[in-house]
Amino acid sequence: MKSLRGRAPSKILRLTILGAWALFCLLPILWFLSIGLRPRTEIILPQPLYWPTWTVEAWNMIWSDWPMGYYLRNSIVAVLGSVVIDLALAIPAAYALARYRFRLREDIGFYILSTRMMAPAVVAIPIFFLLRNLGLLDTVWALMLVYAAMNLSLVTWIIRSYMLDIPSEIEDAARTDGATDLKILVMIIVPMCLPGIITAAVIAVIFGINEFLFTLLIASTKSAYTLSVALANFTGGSDGVIYNAISMVAFLAFMPVLVLLIAIQNHLSRGLTMGAVKG
Amino acid sequence: MSIATTNNGRAASAARPRIYRRRSPLRRKLFPYLLVLPAVAYLLGITLYPGIYAMVQSLYRVKFNSWTFIGLDNYEKLFADPEFWASLWNTLVIGASALALEFVIAMTLAAFAYRDPWVRGWRIIFLLPMLFMPSAVSFIWKLAFNDGGVVSDLLMGIGVIGSPLDFLGNVWLARLSLVITDVWQWTPFLFIIFVAALQSQDMEIEEAARLDGARWSQIFWNISLPLIAPIVAVALVLRGIDIVTMFTSVFIITGGTPGGATETVSYFIYRTGFKRFDFGYASAASVVVLVATVILAQTFVKRFFKSGRD
């Protein structure tokens, strides 16, 4: 690194640019936190207020004025359920794509991938009718099924990428010992690509928590509202948008996501590109 | 699975000749198909079924529960509908600006950060906006641009403008507010991928070029960038897909105003279907977008992803 001096861009330039962007990332977050920690009367003013009267009024309000427990439960149940469905479907599929040669392999793999490209709005109407006919509108089950479908491509491709890294000699050895293919998958492959499975699961959790359009269409009461969509309903008639409550809910969802992401940060780029980048 | 059964299995396999445990050739051949079948069936249920449903529905006029067959009328009306074309144009303008900005910023930041000793710290900080729910981020910027007037106030504070800007009233300012919202939240997506790509390249090549007397900027442009080009392409494709399906921020921040100037295709379909309850017409628009998506996916995306290792 020392030898780079003189040729590398100057340290001041580098720190200025990176620092400027860091401020641009952080300042809106801190300001939004301050919105959550101020009374509602200090939010929308002719002259914005940057140092408010600090209060946890909004935090208390979200628990007392709204069925936040339901929203939280719906988010957790729908997201975790969808991840379980995804893993159950994706692990065998990923194994087939990574390990077997069969006709249509490329086409099937690409088909799975291509479902990631579908705009939610495009399939929203038929899926809305499908769920209505099944009597699943406004249920957590509907959210679970939709989130699972939305993330299945991603989960399959991420896990597939990690399976490709496992040397096939290990499986060959197990096979000569008489293990069946299914046993190899469960006892050898799954434990060995656990980091990939966890990465895929975390990314699926995050996208599930974030999901907005389908939830907006499916949910109409507290029995299916998630945090993401409940936010948009924090408008109390004449009160307008209740920003301090929105802020508190946003940070409530932010904290677990932050923890999950830090846990997988070294796998993040690989996960986000569905395995195209290793690093 | 208990240890006992595993031991039994092992004992049995040792006792019998190995060949005995092999599957029949047909079962071996079918096995990979059986593995992918559940996932494919699930995805077909949630893509093929809706696709066919939308195609059928697009041929009808749907009023509540009564469907009247009208042939291709919906499509005729759609292609003559200035609102539909406007939504395509808006999606293109907003999406292309956001993607271009995100690319330039993320690449610049990555170029400066990837050999910085604090790269992990920068990465966590830059990542933070991505960790908020998009609906929450939309509200952050709705408040900053419109309701709270913070952006105007700050710009007035440094003397750039004299009076508050009306971010909802002006076509370009409204579009700009959506672009900035997207850039703020999603630049880290590209940044993380670019940094990882730059870090995983072969450092010896850079080193060799440096010893030959190449400048830092030359090395970046002529060596590092071409090396990571395939990954950059994948990242841009993935981000591009998400940008053209932009919905949440439009729904929360602008609602398509002013005069439909920020209405994206997704919002057009949503509004037609779930606000005007014109489901047949909305389905026709869905089918058109779906066909376009399939064509784009086949021509642009397919080459970047391979299922197995060949």
Residue type for position B293: T
A156 and A239 in a single domain? The answer is yes
* Interface residue of B27, B31, B36, B275 to substitute, partner A, most A CBs within 10 Å: B36
Q: What is the dihedral of CA B282, B286, B288, B294, to 10 degrees?
A: 180
B201 at interface of A, judged by CB pairs closer than 8 A: no
Note the pLDDT of residue B308. Answer: 56
Tens-place pLDDT, residues B129-172: 999 999 999 999 999 998 888 999 999 999 888 888 889 889 99
d(CA B294, CA A118): 8
Identify the domain containing residue B219 by its residue range: 74-304
Please list, in sequence order, all residues whose beta carbon lies within 8 angstroms of the beta carbon of residue B52, skipping any fewer than 6 positions away: none
Give the nearest chain B residue to A24 (CA atoms).
Answer: B184
CB B287 within 8 A of CB B78: no
How many domains does chain A fold into? 2
Residue A145, both tokens: 């099924």
B203 at interface of A, judged by CB pairs closer than 8 A: no
Element at B67 (helix H, strand E): strand B66-69
A72 and A196 in a single domain? The answer is yes
Taken in order A69, A72, A75, A80, is the CA torsion positive or negative? Answer: negative
Query: If pLDDT is split at 50, 70 and 90, which confidence band does A240 have?
Result: confident
Residue B297 has pLDDT above 90, yes or no: no
Q: Choose the closest CB to B266 out of A119, A146, A229.
A: A119
B238 at interface of A, judged by CB pairs closer than 8 A: yes
pLDDT averaged over chain A? Answer: 90
Query: If pLDDT is split at 50, 70 and 90, which confidence band does A5 have?
Result: very low
Identity of the highest mean pLDDT range in A137-141, B25-29, B226-230: A137-141
Q: Smallest CA–CA separation between B89 and chain A, in Å?
A: 17
| A-chain residues near B132 (CB < 8 A) | 29, 250, 253-254
Note the pLDDT of residue B28. Answer: 79
B291 at interface of A, judged by CB pairs closer than 8 A: no
Please list, in sequence order, all residues whose beta carbon lies within 8 angstroms of the beta carbon of residue B12, skipping any fewer than 6 positions away: none
Let me know if residue A277 belongs to a domain: no
Note the pLDDT of residue B5. Answer: 38
Let me know if residue A265 belongs to a domain: yes
d(CA B189, CA B235): 8
Let me know if residue B111 belongs to a domain: yes
Q: Smallest CA–CA separation between A198 and chain B, in Å?
A: 17
A135 and A226 in a single domain? The answer is yes
A105 and A153 in a single domain? The answer is yes
Closest CA to B134 of A120, A153, A95, A117: A120
Of B196 and A278, the structure prediction assigns the larger pLDDT to B196
Least confident of A172-181, A206-215, B269-278: A172-181
Residue B19 has pLDDT above 60, yes or no: no
Query: If pLDDT is split at 50, 70 and 90, which confidence band does A279 have?
Result: low
Q: Could you give the ipTM of this predicted complex?
A: 0.91
Let me know if residue B142 belongs to a domain: yes
A235: which strand partners?
A241
d(CA A182, CA A204): 25
Q: What is the dihedral of CA B278, B284, B287, B291, to 10 degrees?
A: -150
Please state, for a pLDDT cut of 70, what percent of chain B lies above it.
91
Q: Choose the closest CB to A246 out of B136, B150, B307.
A: B136
Q: Assign residue A66 a region: left if phi > 0, alpha if psi is -120 to 50, beta otherwise? A: beta
A6-30 burial code (b ≥16 CB/10 A, e <16): eebeeeeebeebbeebbebbeebbe
Please provide residue A52's backbone torsions phi and psi, each rounded to the nearest 5 degrees. Answer: -85, 180
Q: Residue B85's domain is classified under what CATH number?
A: 1.10.3720.10
